[in-house]
Amino acid sequence: MKKGLSARLKQIFGIGVADDEFFEELEDSLVEADLGASAAMEVSQELRAVAKRARLDSEVALRHALRDILLKYVKSTDLSPDQERLNVYLVLGVNGVGKTTTIAKLAHYFQHACRSGPVVLAAGDTFRAAAIDQLAVHAERLAVRLVRQAQGGDPGAVIYDALQSAVSRGERVVLADTAGRMHNKAHLVAELQKIDRIVKGRAADAVYRKLLVIDATTGQNGLRQAEIFHESVGVDGAVLAKYDSTAKGGIVVPICRTLGVPFAFVGSGERYEDLRPFDAATYVNDLLSLQEQ
């Protein structure tokens, strides 16, 4: 999907001069693209300073300067599995953001692109029966092992079992689903902290990563979600899901800038192939519709 920011920029650059109105319009369009008010203001002010200092006035020069500024904020991280060790991925996020789908895509990506060997899925969302079945369908299609218990069971126990059995079978990657919805936020946080302690206790030698899924279509709420999960258990990397379904997508910027949480993967569709590592330059170029160089 073509991002709305680039069309807006085209209009703004059509104004011709980099004057006050130009920078106000730019700031508005960054807010519209989901950067949030404070990041938008900072980026716009920085571009204004750079443009003045370097006497930039052409559209190309301004777009490139804007790209360089955004690139300073956007952080990426490589969270592909370590071939030599057990890798545990706990997949977090509020309900409906795309956790379960992301797990299936990660399983596919790790096995095919990273040659990780067999992947195990842990049905840690025991809150809904349908969640376990949904993961079971993916496990069957992907031909990967699923560790599950009955609905209403203890998610910590499911994940513990998955770790235990992966170690004894020599499997290298465990992808654990979690419930995005609980009776209330305090419940959710307490449960995640408990799971976190279990993983740390049972898999102390493993490479353990907490991945937070952010729905690209939810706007500024994504920043609030990231704050809550990051404060509760710490997030090693974020996944931008449903990037294909939005003309915005700027939510990456405030999450990296405010929380220092880097992005690891981007999901752009519902097929298993629709996931790739997050690359900062590709992301910013896409946001601004610039060619890679």
Give the residues lining the site for ligand GTP (CB under 6 A): 93, 95-101, 125, 131, 180-181, 241-242, 244-245, 267-270, 274
Q: Which residue is nearest to Mg ion (CB)?
A: 100
SS3 57: coil
Count of beta carbons in the 10 Å neighbourhood of residue 49: 12
| Rg (the chain; Cα; Å) | 21
Min separation Cβ 177 and Mg ion, Å: 6
> In this structure, are residues 208 and 90 in contact, taking their beta carbons and an 8 Å threshold?
yes
9-17, 69-77, 127-135, 241-249 -> range binding Mg ion (CB under 5 A): 127-135
Min separation Cβ 98 and ligand GTP, Å: 3
Residue 81, binding choice from Mg ion, ligand GTP, none, Cβ under 5 to 8 Å by partner class: none
Q: Which is nearer to Mg ion, 99 or 172 (CB)?
A: 99
Taking phi first (over 0 means left), then psi (-120 to 50 degrees means alpha), and beta for anything else, what does residue 130 get? Answer: alpha
Q: Which is nearer to ligand GTP, 54 or 130 (CB)?
A: 130
Q: Which is nearer to ligand GTP, 43 or 159 (CB)?
A: 159
Residue 268, binding choice from ligand GTP, Mg ion, none, Cβ under 5 to 8 Å by partner class: ligand GTP
Q: Which is nearer to ligand GTP, 46 or 95 (CB)?
A: 95
- Quote the CA–CA distance of 41 and 47 in Å, as a whole number: 10
Residue 217, binding choice from Mg ion, ligand GTP, none, Cβ under 5 to 8 Å by partner class: none
- Quote the CA–CA distance of 246 and 265 in Å, as a whole number: 16
Min separation Cβ 41 and ligand GTP, Å: 30
Count of beta carbons in the 10 Å neighbourhood of residue 148: 20
Q: Which is nearer to ligand GTP, 69 or 252 (CB)?
A: 252
Is residue 178 within the footprint of Mg ion (CB under 5 A)?
A: no
Return the residue of 6, 29, 87, 100 that touches Mg ion, per CB under 5 A. 100
Q: Which is nearer to ligand GTP, 8 or 99 (CB)?
A: 99
Q: Decide the pairing of beta strands 275-277 and 263-267.
A: antiparallel
SS3 207: strand
The DSSP bridge partners found for residue 207 are: 87
Residue 139 Cα distances to 32, 144, 155, 258, angstroms: 38, 5, 18, 36
Residue 245, binding choice from Mg ion, ligand GTP, none, Cβ under 5 to 8 Å by partner class: ligand GTP
Please state the separation of Cα 72 from the chain's center in Å: 18
Residues that bind Mg ion (CB under 5 A): 99-100, 131
